[in-house]
């Protein structure tokens, strides 16, 4: 398959089951919403070392938030209910409750119950107050600028983590331009996030490594500087920069739509823009339950 001169390899991205939840954060101004979101989603790129994968899903205008203030929707994914609940409580408690003027609400109604305010209410030291509005339960926790309003619980759903595609480009400038175009396209879609810095991964990984205890190490097959040194290189001549986009979503459809939009944006730049090909990362279908075949995604 070729799109605008860009070769789309006949391969698949291998992805994994995860549990995900959506939180809605509001504050008095967009700047304080952003401060809370940036803090809460920090160090949340990969479950390999971060405990969860999280990122901004989209900014919400005041007419779409529960309290009619500026807001944002954030998605968080983890490998188990226990880990997701721990990460939600820690990140909301340390990064949202501490941020001036914020409130936090459940962004999903149906699914496995995950404690939210129910896990944070004890910070009120006995002065917290439960409140029920419209059939939904909240906690009002006293803080030094007033009260932190937090919904009692949120819901978690079966999600998909590790959807991906890999951009092979003639040089770093072309590769980064293509990756950034893909990020912008994907961020227009609901239900999916790009958890890595700026949505882009330059240090793609493989399972294991030569050193004891390493569960992952650099993906040597895709390192241009190792093209002539490693037993197997997947870097063709004429390619000097490779970047990966990793996608988590609340459903298979959300991940497929994000991959389609991202790859289409890359192809729009075309071979004239320095893009050589697009491929994907997989483990031969041995580890992940989901396979996103690039030709089917782009059909």
Q: What is the pLDDT of residues 50-88, one digit of tens each?
A: 999 999 999 999 999 999 999 999 999 999 999 999 999
Span 277-288, mean pLDDT?
Answer: 90
Query: What's the pLDDT at 276?
Result: 98
Q: Which residue has the tokens 């504050």?
A: 27
Query: What's the pLDDT at 207?
Result: 87
- Name the residue with higher pLDDT: 178 or 133: 178
Q: Which residue has the tokens 């293509």?
A: 178
Q: What is the pLDDT of residues 195-239, one digit of tens each?
A: 999 999 999 988 899 999 998 899 999 999 999 999 999 999 999
Q: Over pLDDT 90: what percentage of the chain? A: 94
Residue 135: CB atoms within 10 Å: 5
Span 4-11, mean pLDDT?
Answer: 97
2-14+159-298 CATH, one of 3.30.70.520, 3.90.79.10, 3.40.50.1450, 2.70.70.10: 3.30.70.520
Domain boundaries, the chain: 2-14+159-298, 18-157
18-157 CATH, one of 3.40.50.150, 3.40.50.2300, 3.30.70.520, 3.40.50.620: 3.30.70.520
């Amino acid at each position: 398959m070729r799109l605008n001169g860009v070769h789309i390899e006949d391969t698949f991205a291998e992805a994994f089951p995860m549990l995900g939840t959506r939180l809605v954060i509001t504050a008095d101004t967009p700047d304080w919403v952003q401060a809370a979101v940036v803090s809460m989603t920090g160090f949340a790129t990969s479950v390999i070392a971060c405990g969860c994968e999280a990122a901004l899903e989209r900014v919400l205008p005041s007419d779409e938030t529960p309290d009619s203030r500026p807001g944002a929707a954030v998605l968080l994914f983890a490998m188990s209910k226990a880990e997701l609940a721990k990460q939600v409580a820690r990140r909301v408690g340390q990064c949202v409750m501490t941020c001036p003027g914020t409130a936090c609400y459940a962004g999903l109604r149906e699914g496995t119950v995950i404690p939210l305010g129910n896990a944070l209410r004890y910070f009120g030291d006995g002065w917290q107050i439960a409140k029920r509005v419209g059939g939904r339960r909240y906690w009002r926790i006293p803080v030094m600028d007033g009260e932190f309003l937090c919904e009692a619980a949120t819901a978690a759903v079966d999600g998909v983590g590790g959807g991906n595609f890999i951009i092979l480009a003639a040089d770093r400038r072309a590769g980064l331009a293509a990756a950034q175009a893909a990020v912008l396209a994907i961020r227009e879609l609901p239900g999916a996030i790009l958890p890595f810095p700026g949505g882009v991964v330059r240090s793609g990984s493989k399972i294991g490594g030569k050193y004891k205890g390493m569960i992952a190490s650099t993906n040597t097959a895709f390192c241009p500087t190792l093209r002539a040194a490693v037993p197997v290189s997947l870097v063709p001549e004429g390619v000097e920069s490779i970047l990966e986009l990793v996608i988590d979503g609340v459903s298979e459809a959300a991940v497929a739509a994000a991959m389609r939009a991202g790859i289409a944006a890359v192809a729009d730049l075309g071979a004239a823009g320095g893009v050589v090909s697009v491929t994907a990362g997989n483990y031969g279908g041995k580890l992940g339950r989901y396979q996103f075949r690039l030709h089917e995604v782009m059909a």
